[in-house]
Amino acid sequence: MFLSLATSSWTLDAGARMSPPAAAAASPHDASPASILDLQRAERWCTEAGLSEAQLRSVYGHLFRRGGAFTPAALHEAGLSATSATALCDAFDGVTSRVVERVPSEGGMKLVVELPSGQRVEMALILHDHKSSGGKRCTVCVSSQVGCSRACSFCATGTMGLRANLGAAQILEQVWHARNEVPVGYEVRNVVYMGMGEPLDNFDAVVASLRGLTHQALFDLSAKHLTVSTVGASPDRIRRLADLAPKVRLALSLHSATLPLRAELIPSATSMPELTAALDYHAHKTRSGVMLEYLLIDGVNDRAEDADALAAFCADRNAAAARVTPPLSRKEARAAAGYVNLIPFNPTEAGDAHGYRTPSDAAVGAFHARLREEHGVNALVRWSSATGRDANGACGQLVTAKGGRTRLRVPRVAKSAT
């Protein structure tokens, strides 16, 4: 048993690209068993146990750089005393969740991950092959919640309601699983918070997970390769995200630039002035633009007038970026202009109930052309957003069975790095 030797908590400052949360108090996610990927909890425990920052860094270096096992013997070889190594393994697991289903798809894979509670979330791996460079990379689409309370009319996840918020470690464990599941030759480079849940509704855990993803002692990903997606129902949290994670990219699920239609698609949609004011603040604070996600639904929001309204919204965003002080450099101005991702609707039962259909390729092309050629909007059609349809793992299709709520607690996973 350890005595507390430290007078104040320390954090792993060396290698950190984001500041730790302001409060170091225990969170509601602190239920046992704990994951060693819970950086905030690991820092607290090591402080109380009298371990140094260098010793915790050696643990993470052992796991992330050398692929070592999370066992007392392995941690002792990595530099901890036998007593400290045993105590750490008693207090933490390597990971607390497990992959229970793998569904291959054209261009990627859907993973079903079971949490210690028995709840399940779905996540997606999207594989990219660059023919010109020969490079292979993977984008990991992670979930931040079990279900979602926002009930967007086109989205399968919203039919579940909100069942649970994930802790930061449970979000990080999805990326850990992805690193172990990705095919040989591919590198996990990008992480997008576009899976199950509204990330800003689980704000503290999401920000803590961003710190773990960018920390050089852990996943060591660049902040510019991380994207948090939101329906924009919490303008104040858009501002807070800009304050705490200014280099992380923001994606806004817009889907319509007019409030009546947007509220029909996204019942929790806030007023457009509130939303644009938050986006203005984000642009000023981060000196970068927002990625607009626009789901194209046949006959609903893919008409010429919808394209014109979207173009006007983009023009307002560009004008706001031009007012940023001090003035943006040419490079910053290009980044702040942002861009639009056009996403053809992926069929879901929720969408079927509203009669939603995927527009034809010709209709998608016409909408795209009107934005680019008539209005000069930087827009791309994300045909890759359909990747995973054959596994029900494409954008908007992630959902788990209702039985997941009552599943029995699973045994603790083996203490290993894999």
Any idea which residues carry the catalytic annotation? Answer: 122, 395
Closest CA to 89 of 145, 30, 42: 42
> What burial class does residue 308 get, using C-beta atoms within 10 Å of its C-beta: 0-12 exposed, 13-18 middle, 19+ buried?
middle
Smallest Cα–Cα separation from 294: which of 268, 258, 323, 267? 258
Q: Which DSSP category does 287 fall into? A: S
- Grouping H, G, I as helix, E, B as strand and the rest as coil, residue 302 is coil
Contacts of 65 (CB under 8 A, 6+ apart): none
Cα 34 off chain centre by: 21
Q: What angle do CA 60, 64, 65 make, to 5 degrees?
A: 105
Q: How far, rounded to the nearest angstrom, does the alpha carbon of residue 316 sit from its chain's CA centroid?
A: 27
Segment holding 214, helix H or strand E: helix 203-214
Distance, in Å, from the CA atom of 343 to the CA atom of 100, rounded to the nearest integer, reads 29
Q: Which phi-psi region, left, alpha or beta, contains residue 180 (left: φ > 0; alpha: ψ -120 to 50)? A: alpha
Residues 242, 285 contacting (CB under 8 angstroms): yes
Task: Say whether 59 sits in a helix, a strand or coil.
Answer: helix
Contact (Cβ atoms closer than 8 angstroms) between residue 20 and residue 38: no
